[in-house]
Structure 1
Amino acid sequence: MSPNDDHQPAPLPEGLLLAYYGDDFTGSTDAMEAMTAAGVPTVLFLAPPTPEALQRFPGVRCVGLAGSSRGRSPEWMRAELPQAFASLKALGAPILHYKVCSTFDSSPSLGSIGCAIEIGLQHMGGHWSPTVVGAPRLRRYQVFGHLFAAVDGVGYRLDRHPTMSRHPVTPMGESDLRRHLAAQTPRRMGLVDMVQLKSGDAHAQLTACRQPEADEAGATSPQAEAPIVFIDVLDEDTLLEAGRLVWRQRGQGLFSASSSGLCYALTAYWRSEGWLPAHTALPETQPVSQIAAVSGSCSPVSAAQIRWARAHGFATERLAVAACLQPARREAELQRVLAQAGQALSAGRSALVFSAEGPDDPEVLAFDQHAAQAGLSRTEAARCVGACLAEVMKRLLDQHPLRRIVVAGGDSSGEVASVLGLDALTVLARLTPGAPLCRAWSTHPQRDGLEVVLKGGQMGGESFYGQALHGG
């Protein structure tokens, strides 16, 4: 603890400790896993929770709301996020977390994290807005404000990352997160770096960051009153210190746009104070006889996982993107894919339907052309593909009452959860970091209790689908 931090620690308060909005569905389950695994009972809702809905989960200490803002415009965010943030603030948690991807990919026109921060601060207030992005468990590291991510044991600065630097929608051309976010919001920013965290100077640096800037006339602007402060996370020590700083300086409430690194940081600090069990563990995923999966991800990680599934007995079937985008051809394409996947499931095999196999897939390279021919924007076309994959999964489950399903890709996950009529998710078991096995809660008896894995494109190893099937 910094010698300048005179706030004495107190036991965790009663009630909710954290409420969060996930900017996509896969990221929402990532945050839920981080809290649940640390011993903080957590439930993820798919619509703003009501008091009646919360009564179904007694003892819950963290509540999430899965959203889709990562693929939305600032105009959509300004129309939709205020209601979502207001519903979460009303729950009374001291920290309102806007959960973003651990690669922080966003832009001024799509998934603007800066826009979300402005809206969140209007609702939550607070003297500063911390941002914690690094998460060592997910192989994400922030050092002196720059974000790094590891792939196959090799660390890359994000603007040189083999996937994120060439992301088809929001490519990351800047690894300094302050510079990246400055294109999305004019709000003043600061940094508590790893050296300050390790030397005990974090509180003093935060105090300096929070000092309002004055103009030539000596007046301060509202934009200067609550700065955005990035906090480096390199290892478990800096993770704990980041959690200490945020929790001890939360004041009457904070809004934070962060990855699940914030969840890992807070729980690390709470554990260090003895407020959470020193050792907790989620159960192992148990095997099932077969699964159905759909993938809308175009990352190379997802491509390797599809190839592994194909080589290990899965029936893999490509969904033709061009046909999905044309209303006159869509139903015939859905029927074709359903016939192939359904035949495999009837024979006792597992089935995987995908729309892309890596960033160099011809369907990915021709995506803009397909969208233009269909008279759709890139965003509209992407949502249409996700909706088709969701319809495939719905019809497969209607015909084959499976126990477990897997969805890869944030947009696809949101569409699937919506079309299946799921109300909430809780973590059932661990599978791979950032993508746990979840239990679905639904008023539809045939969906209630369904086991669901929502996987981001960068999550999991090559044999991920084998883990989802065989467990362990």
Structure 2
Amino acid sequence: MKAPFLGCIADDFTGATDLANNLVRAGMRVVQSIGVPDAPLDTDADAIVVALKSRTIPAAEAVAQSLAALKWLRAQGTQQTYFKYCSTFDSTAEGNIGPVTDALMDALQIDFTIACPAFPENGRTVFKGYLFVGDELLHESGMRNHPLTPMTDSNLVRVLQAQTTRRVGLIDHRTVAGGTAAIETRIAALRSQGVSMAIVDATDNEDLMQMGRAFATLPLVTAGSGVAIGLPQNFGLDAVAGAAQLPAARGGRAIVSGSCSTATNAQVANFIGHGGAAFAIDPLRLAEGADVASEALAWAEEQLADGPVLVYATAQPDAVRAVQAQLGVAHAGEIVEHAMGAIARGLAERGVGQLIVAGGETSGACVQSLGITTLRIGPQIAPGVPWCHAASPHAKDGGLHIALKSGNFGAVDFFTQAFATLGRDA
């Protein structure tokens, strides 16, 4: 069994599948682990993605988990390390991107790496160091209202510099347009100036391909999932036929949505507007001790035979802020995540075999509640979101198709599109 080329550390579960999806699209065989495995994986994968739930936890805990993942990946013989964060570069005020990058650089004993959250296929581009979401600057997009990681500055050099004592620089669009050699020359110049981290501009996939070649010799790459498009070319791989093939889909269909992003709000509204069966989770009733999860599961059991069901805590920013004002940000998030995890587990026990989970924190809670330890990556539903297949002790057939959707990803009809894709491709 050969060693994997690429070892990846993702700071949330949806981001991990997003990254794995882009690697599979390039023909790599990818295994995704939920948390750091206790032992080596019995696999011939070209890349291993370790999914952590570290984006919004205290920085010291995020560092400790990331270093444990790095140690395990290095023990598997990986050649290059990839630290994956969100394409909106969101983090707590104290960091987690900067502190984790610092710790990984120290552990690898390196003096330079890059940072690039760009994913042009999903409208995330970086120009002159500023991050755009579609046509809007990051701080003018819906991310300014994120309930856990509101982003109020679009200048990534400034954002990252506030999270590290290392010097942060920029590889701008003119350099990237000059191709691989120009990027390599710029990296050498920055290193000679004492710069240890560089934000990299990218506005299209060709930029990512040029960057991928330039980053071939970097021991550590930090990025969103977009940069992964350009890395597989460095390993001399032949595309693997059927890399995205999954078992046939079975069982009921359900959606569990905890994300309050602009995109997910629109997707929930679209599903309901087209007659979809939906059950809303009220955080205030949860806080009062009501067994809302059991209520949702009893409702779903009656609806599943008629088509997909949606259980959601998704809400508009004003409603989220009102709940947080009463319960506190952390407590509101914790009780909703716990309920969503219990609901996902209960749905699987009631025969759901095709499950969509919307939101990074929600995905983490659901995957852990379902007892999932590894994911097999399947066909892409939309940029950044694949169907996966996993063993779960709570699934009736022992296996479950699951899609972990980042809150900001997907078209307005994503839920309907996802089930149609699974029926067509899996």
Taking structure 2 as the reference length, what is the TM-score of the superposition? Answer: 0.91
Is 1:62 paired with 2:24?
A: no
Structure 1 residue aligned with 2:337:
386
Q: In terms of Rg, which structure is larger?
A: 1
Is 1:431 paired with 2:387?
A: no
Write out the 4+ residue segments of structure 1 that deviate beyond 6 Å after TM superposition.
278-281, 284-289
Is 1:368 paired with 2:324?
A: yes
TM superposition shift of 1:98: 1.4
Structure 1 residue aligned with 2:172:
193
- Is the CA contact (8 Å cut-off) linking 2:283 and 2:332 kept in structure 1? no
Structure 2 residue aligned with 1:21:
9
Compared CA separation, residues 393 and 236, structure 1 to 2 (3 A): closer
* Superimposed CA distance per residue, residues 107-132 of structure 1 (whole angstroms, 9 cap, x where no aligned partner): 333x5211111111122222311222
**Aligned counterpart in structure 2 of residue 453 of structure 1, from 384, 403, 406:** 403
Structure 2 residue aligned with 1:180:
159
TM superposition shift of 1:300: 1.8
Whole-angstrom distance in 2 between the partners of 1:70 and 1:26: 11
TM superposition shift of 1:286: 7.8
Query: Pairwise mapping of residues 142-161 of structure 1 onto structure 2 (< 5 A)?
Result: 142-150=126-134, 155-161=135-141
The range that moved more, 234-243 or 282-291, is 282-291
TM superposition shift of 1:443: 6.3
- Is the CA contact (8 Å cut-off) linking 2:7 and 2:78 kept in structure 1? yes
* Superimposed CA distance per residue, residues 397-424 of structure 1 (whole angstroms, 9 cap, x where no aligned partner): 21x2122111101111011111111110
- Is the CA contact (8 Å cut-off) linking 1:290 and 1:348 kept in structure 2? no
Structure 1 residue aligned with 2:369:
419
Structure 2 residue aligned with 1:72:
57
**Aligned counterpart in structure 2 of residue 101 of structure 1, from 86, 96, 118:** 86
Is 1:138 paired with 2:88?
A: no
Compared CA separation, residues 380 and 164, structure 1 to 2 (3 A): same
Is 1:339 paired with 2:324?
A: no
TM superposition shift of 1:451: 0.2
Structure 1 residue aligned with 2:203:
234
- Is the CA contact (8 Å cut-off) linking 2:344 and 2:369 kept in structure 1? no
TM superposition shift of 1:335: 2.3
Compared CA separation, residues 403 and 78, structure 1 to 2 (3 A): closer
Is 1:301 paired with 2:280?
A: no
Fraction of identical pairs, as percent: 28
Structure 2 residue aligned with 1:405:
355
- Is the CA contact (8 Å cut-off) linking 2:29 and 2:243 kept in structure 1? no
**Aligned counterpart in structure 2 of residue 121 of structure 1, from 102, 105, 130:** 105
RMSD between aligned residues: 2.4
Equivalenced residues, count? 419
Structure 2 residue aligned with 1:441:
391
- Is the CA contact (8 Å cut-off) linking 2:251 and 2:352 kept in structure 1? no
Query: Pairwise mapping of residues 317-336 of structure 1 onto structure 2 (< 5 A)?
Result: 317-326=279-288, 329-331=289-291, 333-336=292-295
- Is the CA contact (8 Å cut-off) linking 1:71 and 1:379 kept in structure 2? no
TM superposition shift of 1:260: 0.6
Taking structure 1 as the reference length, what is the TM-score of the superposition? Answer: 0.83
- 3-state DSSP class of the match of 1:429? strand
Structure 1 residue aligned with 2:18:
30
- 5+ residue gaps, structure 1, are 1-13, 214-223, 373-377
- 3-state DSSP class of the match of 2:35? coil
Whole-angstrom distance in 1 between the partners of 2:17 and 2:119: 15
